[in-house]
Amino acid sequence: MSDEGRALLTEREREIISGEADVTDNYRYKVESTVRNRVKKKLADDVEVLKEHLPDVHELVIEKVCGDDVE
């Protein structure tokens, strides 16, 4: 793992979701479900904390996620 840690996915989740890891379909589904729930339940809260306390990082997130669609 790099010194920076992770963003949304762990290195292992990235390998599993991308199909690089040799895992069962059931395990892949479990990992996908975990990531889906993380996005649904935690992402908005994290973005709000960044917006309030680290606006420069919040702006980076918006730029990366929205690209040129940012108003």
Question: Does residue 8 contact residue 34 with C-beta atoms inside 8 Å?
Answer: no
Residue 1 lies in a domain: no
pLDDT digits (tens, 9 = 90+) for 53-67: 999 999 999 999 998
pLDDT higher than 70, residue 70: no
Distances (CA, A) of 27 to 1, 10, 35, 39: 21, 15, 12, 19
Write the single-letter amino acid at 9: L
Residue 2 lies in a domain: no
Task: Dig out the tokens for 57 from the structure.
Answer: 């990082």
pLDDT higher than 90, residue 4: no
Range of the domain at 34: 11-67
Quote the number of domains for the chain: 1
Residue 5 lies in a domain: no
Residue 56 lies in a domain: yes
Residue 30 lies in a domain: yes
pLDDT at 52 (0 to 100): 98
